[in-house]
A and B are shown apart, each in its own frame.
Chain A
Amino acid sequence: MRGQPTNKRLEKHHIENLIGRIYMSFCVLLLIVIIVSMVYFVASKGVANFVNGEVKVSEFLFGTKWSPEADTPSYGAFPFISGSFLVTLLAALIASPLSICAALFMTEIVPGWGKKLLQPVIELLSGIPSVVYGFVGLSVIVPFLRDTLPGQGIGVAAGALVLSVMILPTITSVAADALASLPQNLKESSFALGATRWQTISRVILPTTFPAIMTGVVLGMARAFGEALAVQMVIGNAPFVPHSLFESASTLTSVITLGMGNTTMGSPQNNALWSMALVLMLMTFVFVLLVRMLERRNKI
């Protein structure tokens, strides 16, 4: 009978599918192997100091003294951990209101040309490499702060400002997506009740989209927390807990950047840097977990 697939044709059919499946399984497997080995390698180096009794976990996390080259070396990473959290929170505080306003501008105030104007701006901002942000921070923000405010210019404030510009696009694009996907009838019923646009935004739109907007903020914070070079260039890299926003400080990433090349592999000092990398990695998991929780809340 014509039209009936012959054996040969069936075989070709199956072989094609088989090759495709093998190829895809290889790609997916590779992803899993990468992440497993990444966690394993960084963690095994990161806990080395704690396992061989060189440093206690509590001393590493809460010790405020970082002097690896002293006669009795101490490896307190608290200044760096607190520095990372400080610049991240400050950057989120500066960037979030700006980003939410930009998202509202694109979706609620002038949906037509607002989107046409801001969309490319956001894309370009997110495309600028981080070292360029660091360079601009070093040659514009730092001299500006030095001239107008107390201190040397380099420090926590400069780091937070540079980071806030870097995370603007992340927060804005997530917030704009959230606002755009809001059901139209919610807004319309609010307007029908005679509410002004601001009343609608502040009492209907923002509360409803709050988890989604927070997702954007957390993603932005994750980016800020892990950003290395731009922060390293403007923060001053002093191993102390800063007393004011205009003092030099360090973050986990800046210490790793500067220290990793200058220490010998396997020394306690080098291993302490790996422990910091492990802290960074664990924080990434925390951020991903937070994003997942917020996304679950977002599903109404």
Chain B
Amino acid sequence: MKPRTANKIATVVIVTFALLIVAILVSLLGYILIRGFNHISWDFLTSAPQKIRAGGGVGPQLFNSLFLLVLTLIITVPLGLGAGIFMAEYARPGKLTNFIRLVVEVLSSFPSIIVGLFGLLLIVNTFNLGFSLISGALALTFFNLPLMVRITEQAFRTVPKQQKEAGFALGLSKWKIVTSVLLPVALPTIITGTILSAGRVFGEAAALMFTAGMSSPRLDFSNWNPLSPSSPLNPFRPAETLAVHIWKVNSEGLAPDALQIAAGASAVLVLTVLIFNLAARYFGRFIYRKLTASKRMS
């Protein structure tokens, strides 16, 4: 074959395959959103699910997902920041640093089901926290922490060196430079990454089945006392999240409209992840402008 013909064929094949991926995404999103959108209503978003009868909603599940996300971020963000700053600014090349890097790499590549099982052994059984929101949040911490470390480290590495040197020239302590010079510059990247990782946490199911549990107790949304068992704010109650609910409805759902519920819940889940994606872009830029007095983001 002439090289030119081969070139043309190869180009056509590559372009076709690339466009095929775009087509897959468009049809995937289109299918989920169109199929599920009809089923989304205010009632669907707020009412409790039905076991046998049709017409159940996903209210408690949606609330659980959001609450769990908040709990997880409260735990992981400070820890991830600390370890990430260490890796970016303090760690000297050597055996210890290599080891920590390996730990982060292994931890981030563990399957989420292993994280869930570990949570079941350690948190649910050994620490005796039972199937609860707090168990779920801790399991998600193991899942999210390596991500946060990487995000922080990368964000700090992109800060120009001059910023640090200027800080040293002013006679500031290293920790002061890290917290009040480097952190504000790195913050937009960190926030963008955190919001994107929040999308992953929001859709995670395998790690939560064995830690947060697969059922939600009857919730009383007028009871805001965090210690009462029927209060939605009680972190020690079992909680089924939206993603777990989709799995359960598909695998063992008894309601006659199980497929519609799964479609509606999937659409809610995907829409939320889309919102997280957009928010990450917008918020990163917004914070950057606020903190650095610059008009544009490089």
Contact = CB atoms under 8 A, between A and B. Distances in A.
A222 interface: yes
Interface string B92-135: 00000001101111110111111101101110010000000000
Contacts of A118: 18, 21-22
Contacts of A124: 25, 29, 274, 277
A199 B117 CA distance: 49
B106 A35 contact: yes
A28 interface: yes
A281 B86 contact: no
A139 interface: yes
A228 B206 contact: yes
Interface in A103-117: 104-106, 109, 114, 117
Contact of A257 (B125, B173, B206): B206
B85 A42 contact: no
Contacts of B29: 124
Contacts of A277: 113-114, 117
A261 B124 CA distance: 13
A105 B17 CA distance: 9
Contacts of A105: 14-15, 17-18
B250 A134 contact: yes
A35 B103 contact: yes
A131 B10 contact: no
A41 to B, nearest CB: 5
Interface stretch (A17-25, A55-63, A74-82): A17-25
Nearest to A253: B113
A103 B118 CA distance: 36
Contacts of B244: 131
Nearest to A125: B25
Given A118-B21, A222-B109, A42 B246 contact: no
A24 B83 contact: yes
Given A28-B100, A34-B107, A129 B28 contact: no
B137 interface: no
B149 A31 contact: yes
Interface stretch (B50-58, B196-204, B227-235, B286-294): B196-204
Contact of A132 (B15, B80, B86, B270): B270
B247 interface: yes
Contacts of A138: 250
Interface of A is mostly: helix
B227 to A, nearest CB: 28
A139 B196 contact: no
A256 B153 CA distance: 35
Interface string B174-189: 1110110000000000
Contacts of B259: 139
Contacts of B111: 225-228, 253, 280, 284
Contacts, number: 253
Contact of A34 (B80, B142, B175, B269): B142
Task: Select the residue from A127, A199, A219, A291 with max chain B CB neighbours within 10 A.
Answer: A127
Interface residues of B, number: 92
A35 B262 CA distance: 35
Interface residues of A, number: 87
A16 B167 CA distance: 15
A26 B82 CA distance: 8
A23 B6 CA distance: 60
B151 interface: no
Contacts of B251: 232-233
A228 B247 CA distance: 11
Given A38-B118, A101-B18, A257-B209, A30 B250 contact: no
A92 interface: no
B252 to A, nearest CB: 10
Contact of B3 (A26, A127, A198, A227): A198
A121 interface: yes
A25 to B, nearest CB: 8
A105 B11 CA distance: 9
A64 interface: no
Contacts of B196: 127
A97 interface: yes
A131 B205 contact: yes
11 contacts: A20-B179, A25-B86, A30-B83, A105-B15, A124-B25, A128-B270, A135-B32, A135-B246, A136-B31, A168-B24, A228-B206
Given A118-B22, A196-B3, 4 more contacts: A17-B174, A32-B99, A35-B103, A229-B247
Interface of B: 3-4, 6-7, 9-11, 13-18, 20-22, 24-25, 28-29, 31-32, 35, 78-83, 85-87, 90, 99-100, 102-107, 109-115, 117-118, 120-122, 125, 142, 145-146, 149, 171, 173-176, 178-179, 196, 199-200, 202-206, 209-210, 214, 243-244, 246-247, 250-251, 259, 262-263, 266, 269-270, 273-274, 276-277
